[in-house]
Amino acid sequence: MKHFILNLSIEQQITFVVLFVSLLIQTLYYLLVYLRPFFWKRKTTNNKENKISVIICAKNEYENLKNNLPRILTQKYSDYEVIVVNDCSTDDSEMLLGEMKQQYKHLRHTTIEPDIKFSHGKKLAITIGIKSAKYEHLVFIDADCYPTSNQWLNEINKSYTTNKQIVLGYGGYEHKKGFLNKLIRFDTLFIAMQYFGFATIGNPYMGVGRNLSYIKRLFLKGKGFSKHYQMLSGDDDLFVNDNANKKNTALVLSKNSFTLSKPQESWKNWIKQKKRHLTTGKFYKKKDKFFLGLELLTRFLFYSSLLYLIYLNTNIIITISVYSFRLILQIIIIKLNMIKMKEKGFLLLIPLFDMLLPIIYFLFLFSNKKKYIVK
């Protein structure tokens, strides 16, 4: 190897150094962070059944509420309430909620009326839901989401062991046909591998509002969303980033704890959604931005240097061997996480998605001129 490197041009030597350094860093991410969710198991279990308030914010979600609310209202859990904040809906949501309250006595709802002089985002609706909640333990799910099991609340409650104030869950997307659906589900899985992986090593930095829980006094003590109220996004990840630490945060990764959501079905809507979500990253703590940025950068450098070495007609056997090593490691670890989180259908597309997503992220970040704020 030494003789081989010395026979290379300076340009090739520098490119090889970039390739191997980026490979080393990528390997560490996969072995020390991304592999951990698969092996994670709950060490202790809370056997006390806490009273729970489930909070759902809904704006013109008639069909989703009709289809998904029954799955939330029929949980095998003895003492909980479901609060739906009807946020300025113009459809028949109000009528539906009134009818459903006759059948489900633990369903409550409050309505925000439209005001042409005052605009607001989802965070106001969530805040209203939290302040109206009867119970200390809060669970959040979106209107277009549903739990995959009637043990969902029970599994979340089990994670509220001593001193735990936040529980991070997995929120996946429904399996549909098409390339976009596979990309969305891979992206969701990979993000989950990151935030669950970092949480297991004592650095919880985000969660998803599709499956998230925390206690009411933590929200009130931290003054809710006051630090980033004007941002349309961030009611989940920025709140966790501000308030989570290794002592107060727990995970729930059992198969009965998952939720599923309806995925975007058009590229235009997915791009709009993704751009909005990416705006919150700049508000993360510096260490979180560093580690997330380093992963994206080294992935980009890995592929760039690899392709450049092929372009320079450098030893193909060594170049392909380096790529193959990372690919095999990557597929094994992602497959294990797919098993853990009940995902399927995109294993063969992993090499393409892995190259494509960093490019998409960079393009979105640099082209994201729109400010996603409450006006």
27 and 60 in a single domain? The answer is: no
Q: Count structural domains, the chain.
A: 2
Cα–Cα distance, 253 to 41 (Å, whole number): 8
pLDDT at 151 over 90: yes
The pLDDT of residue 368: 67
The predicted model gives 76-93 an average pLDDT of 94
Domain contains 275 = no
211 and 125 in a single domain? The answer is: yes
CA angle 130, 252, 76 (to 5 degrees): 70
pLDDT at 363 over 60: yes
The predicted model gives 7-28 an average pLDDT of 87
Domain contains 86 = yes
Cα-flanking dihedrals φ and ψ of residue 234, to 5°? 105, 5
User: Which structure tokens are listed for 226?
Assistant: 């006051």
Last residue of a domain, one of 214, 240, 258: 258
Domain contains 20 = yes
Calculate the average pLDDT of the chain.
91
Beta strands in 106-149 (DSSP E): 107-112, 137-140, 145-147
98 and 186 in a single domain? The answer is: yes
323 and 246 in a single domain? The answer is: no
Half-sphere exposure of 110 (CA within 13 A, CB side): 17
Domain that holds residue 205: 43-258
pLDDT at 271 over 60: yes
Cα-flanking dihedrals φ and ψ of residue 267, to 5°? -60, -40
pLDDT at 120 over 90: no
- Tens of pLDDT, residue by residue over 164-188, are 999 999 999 999 999 999 999 999 9
How long is the chain?
Answer: 375
Measured CA distances, 374 to 123, 154, 237, 273, 371 (Å): 10, 36, 18, 16, 9
- Tens of pLDDT, residue by residue over 276-323, are 888 888 889 999 999 999 999 999 999 999 988 888 877 788 889 999
75 and 157 in a single domain? The answer is: yes
| Proportion of the chain in helix, strand, coil states, percent, rounded to 5 | 55, 10, 35
Domain contains 373 = no
The predicted model gives 127-138 an average pLDDT of 96
113 and 250 in a single domain? The answer is: yes
The predicted model gives 60-89 an average pLDDT of 96
Question: Rounded to 10 degrees, what is the CA torsion of 311, 317, 321, 324?
Answer: 70
Between the ranges 113-117, 141-145, 279-283, where is the mean pLDDT highest? 141-145
Quick one: what percent of the chain has pLDDT higher than 70?
95
49 and 24 in a single domain? The answer is: no
The pLDDT of residue 253: 96
Quick one: what percent of the chain has pLDDT higher than 90?
74
Domain contains 282 = no
User: Which structure tokens are listed for 315?
Assistant: 């030893």
pLDDT at 374 over 60: no
pLDDT at 12 over 90: no
242 and 301 in a single domain? The answer is: no
Domain contains 232 = yes
pTM of the model: 0.92
Last residue of a domain, one of 238, 258, 278: 258
Cβ(195)–Cβ(207) under 8 Å?
yes
The label of the residue with tokens 């109000």 reads 94
CB atoms within 10 A of CB 366: 8
Contacts 24+ apart (CB under 8 A), 355-360: 355/303, 356/183, 357/183, 357/186, 357/187, 357/190, 358/296, 358/299, 358/300, 358/303, 359/300, 360/274
Cα–Cα distance, 358 to 90 (Å, whole number): 39
360 and 322 in a single domain? The answer is: yes
CATH classification of the domain holding 190: 3.90.550.10
pLDDT band at 2 (very low <50, low <70, confident <90, very high): low
User: Which structure tokens are listed for 222?
Assistant: 């931290």
Domain contains 274 = no
The predicted model gives 65-73 an average pLDDT of 97
107 and 221 in a single domain? The answer is: yes
300 and 191 in a single domain? The answer is: no
Tell me which residue of 273, 257, 268, 162 sits closest to 213, measured CA to CA: 257
Domain contains 374 = no
171 and 114 in a single domain? The answer is: yes
